């Protein structure tokens, strides 16, 4: 691959998915994109680049973008966000949303599904507290491949042993030969959609909680800021944003501030008195997901 | 330093487990079967036990049952580590008093995740 070709790929990926590649990542690009070239019956990366430059091959373009994503995820990753969900966010929302009895959660960049499923497990464990509530979880990602896996809810023995306590594995999964599948009841709690965070997501409506973890790290600062500012518009004043362990809003946007003492948890700058928030507006916004 | 007893009839597995657990700051003792493990525990109860299932002389489940009946035997956190990976075996182990369960093959990440799960690290 020539330097010009590498430059082209860098720009292509930056535009399509936001991914920022440093110059020392040429080896990574080669090892991830050669299989894509082979699938498209192309011999070399140069041929792949030429084909991308000519344009018109949508599925190959998508394959290139997907092949460059990092999809690592595991159940209850970093633990604390799920404790915050159970002990901080849920109690607050169960009180402030008592009139509508509806809560919407969005896992933006959910990869293979461990994050939304961890939330659905928490909700099952807390079934008594949320009885009679309509709690919906939406999982989105840029990549079709990870969404297919997420939908199936099938995980290897290795995957179910990272972060998932054995009791929860027995309780919520069914063993199928070498693999484990999460129970239909939990699968039904999550809706899946393909979504590129670079594109508009206002059509998804308003959410009470957005998990956006370990994806902004791949983007440059203006892109992070732009996405965070749009996420702020998808949340009511007292909604929650959850970022990954290595991520923050500090220095990126004024739209969110860290919740004191809760690592990874953020709220909009002006936290309104939740009881004075006009309920009808929220009911309208909350209905968006079903359409 | 926390003490961990590694019980497995395979010296290779004991060595691999020892290396991982020493990196996690555990002091390791080893036993080749359940009976040896019980003898070790009667001398000093470790903080943690990594326990194989199928072993000669006394298997892991028998050991666990005896251990939980001993004075002070409720103290060690027991993590099974076995090729028995079906629901029936796992459920039996939990009922007998196991705190966590690793299905072989395992690696550093799994051991670390499971030991975190039970609050050992
Ligand atoms: C490391 S995973 C994070 C999974 C999960 N949130 C977690 O923290 O474990 C990052 C995911 O972001 C997705 N992704 C990358 N760029 C994206 C974009 N522009 N829009 C939506 N998703 C994107 C990738 O496909 C990948 O599945």
Q: What is the pLDDT of residues A89-98, one digit of tens each?
A: 999 999 999 9
Average pLDDT over residues A274-284: 44
User: Token match 């691999």: residue?
Assistant: B16
- Probe residue for ligand 1, chosen from A12, A62, A69 as the CB with the greatest number of ligand atoms within 8 Å: A69
Q: Is residue B121 part of a domain?
A: no
Question: Rounded to a whole number, what is the largest CA-CA distance in chain A?
Answer: 63
- Chain-centroid distance of CA A236 in Å reads 19
User: Token match 């957005």: residue?
Assistant: A210
Chain segment B40-62, per-residue pLDDT in tens: 999 999 999 999 999 999 999 99
Which CATH number characterizes residue B16's domain? 3.40.50.2300
Chain segment B3-29, per-residue pLDDT in tens: 999 999 999 999 999 999 999 999 999
Is A143 a pocket residue for ligand 1 (Cβ < 6 Å)?
A: yes
How far apart, in whole angstroms, are the C-alpha atoms of residue A269 and residue A275?
17
What's the pTM value of the predicted model, to 2 decimals?
Answer: 0.92
Instruction: Chain B: give the shortest CA distance to residue A162, in Å.
Output: 6
Q: What is the CA radius of gyration of chain B?
A: 13
A113: left (phi over 0), alpha (psi -120 to 50) or beta: left
Q: Is residue B20 part of a domain?
A: yes
Give me the half-sphere count of Cα atoms (radius 13 Å) on the Cβ side of residue B39: 10
Q: What share of chain B is helix, strand, coil (3-state, %, to 5)?
A: 45, 20, 35
How far apart, in whole angstroms, are the C-alpha atoms of residue A180 and residue A176?
6
> Of B87, B106, B114, which has the smallest distance from its Cβ to A170's Cβ?
B87
Q: Is residue B86 part of a domain?
A: yes
Is A112 a pocket residue for ligand 1 (Cβ < 6 Å)?
A: no
User: Token match 């009667």: residue?
Assistant: B42
Specify whether the CB–CB gap between A176 and A156 falls below 8 A.
Answer: no
Domain that holds residue B12: 2-116
- Residue A207 corresponds to which tokens in the numbers above? 């959410």
Chain segment A182-219, per-residue pLDDT in tens: 999 999 999 999 999 999 999 999 999 999 999 999 99
Chain segment A245-261, per-residue pLDDT in tens: 999 999 999 999 999 99
Specify whether the CB–CB gap between B78 and B67 falls below 8 A.
Answer: yes
How far, in Å, from the CA of A17 to the mean position of ligand 1? 10
Q: Is residue B8 part of a domain?
A: yes
> Of A74, A162, A166, which has the smallest distance from its Cβ to B100's Cβ?
A166
Count of domains forming chain B: 1
How far apart, in whole angstroms, are the C-alpha atoms of residue A58 and residue A74?
30
Give the residue from chain B lying closest to A159, CA to CA. Answer: B110
- Residue owning the nearest CA to atom 13 of ligand 1: A109
Bridge-based pairing state of the strands B2-7 and B48-51: parallel
* CATH numbers and ranges of domains, chain A: 3-68 (1.10.155.10), 80-284 (3.40.50.150)
pLDDT value at residue A23: 93
Asked whether the beta carbons of residue A162 and residue B110 sit closer than 8 angstroms, the reply is yes
How far apart, in whole angstroms, are the C-alpha atoms of residue A130 and residue A85?
13
Which of A79, A161, A174, A181 is best to mutate for the B interface (most B CBs within 10 A)?
A161
Q: Is residue B83 part of a domain?
A: yes
How far apart, in whole angstroms, are the C-alpha atoms of residue A50 and residue A5?
9
**SS3 assignment, position A134:** strand
A202-233 burial string, b = 16+ CB within 10 Å, else e? eebbbbbbbbbbbbbebbeeebbbbbbebbbe
């Amino acid at each position: 691959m020539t330097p010009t070709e590498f430059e082209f790929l860098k720009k292509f990926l930056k535009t399509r998915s936001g991914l920022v590649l440093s110059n020392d990542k040429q080896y990574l690009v080669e090892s991830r994109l050669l299989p894509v070239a082979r699938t498209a019956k192309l011999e070399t990366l140069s041929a792949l680049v030429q084909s991308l430059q000519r344009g018109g091959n949508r599925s190959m373009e998508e394959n290139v973008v997907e092949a460059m994503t990092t999809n690592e995820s595991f159940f209850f990753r970093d633990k604390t966000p799920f404790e915050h969900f159970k002990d901080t966010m849920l109690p607050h929302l169960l009180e402030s949303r008592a009139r509508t009895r509806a809560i919407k959660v969005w896992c933006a960049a959910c990869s293979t599904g461990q994050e939304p499923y961890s939330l659905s497990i928490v909700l099952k464990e807390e079934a008594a507290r949320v009885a009679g509530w309509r709690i919906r979880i939406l999982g989105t990602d840029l990549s079709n491949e990870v969404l297919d896996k997420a939908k199936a809810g099938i995980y290897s023995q290795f995957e179910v042993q990272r972060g998932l306590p054995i009791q929860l594995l027995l309780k919520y999964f069914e063993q199928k030969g070498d693999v484990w599948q999460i129970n239909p009841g939990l699968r039904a709690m999550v809706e899946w959609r393909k979504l590129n965070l670079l594109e508009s997501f206002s059509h998804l409506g308003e959410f009470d909680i957005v998990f956006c973890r370990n994806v902004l790290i791949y983007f440059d600062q203006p892109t992070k800021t732009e996405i965070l500012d749009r996420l702020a518009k998808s949340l009511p004043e007292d909604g929650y944003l959850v970022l990954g362990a290595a991520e923050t809003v500090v220095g990126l946007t004024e739209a969110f501030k860290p919740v004191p003492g809760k690592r990874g948890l953020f709220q909009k700058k002006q936290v309104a008195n939740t009881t004075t928030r006009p309920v009808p507006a929220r009911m309208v916004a909350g209905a968006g997901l079903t359409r | 330093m926390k003490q961990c007893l590694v019980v497995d009839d395979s010296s290779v597995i004991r060595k691999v487990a020892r290396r991982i657990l020493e990196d996690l700051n555990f002091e390791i003792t080893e036993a080749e079967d359940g009976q040896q493990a019980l003898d070790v525990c009667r001398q000093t109860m470790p903080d943690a036990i990594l326990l194989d299932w199928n072993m000669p002389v006394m298997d892991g489940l028998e050991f666990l049952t005896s251990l939980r009946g001993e004075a002070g035997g409720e103290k060690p956190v027991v993590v099974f580590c076995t090729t028995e990976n079906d629901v029936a075996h796992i459920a039996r182990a939990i009922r007998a008093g196991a705190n966590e369960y690793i299905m072989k093959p395992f690696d550093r990440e799994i051991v670390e995740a499971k030991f975190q799960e039970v609050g050992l690290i």
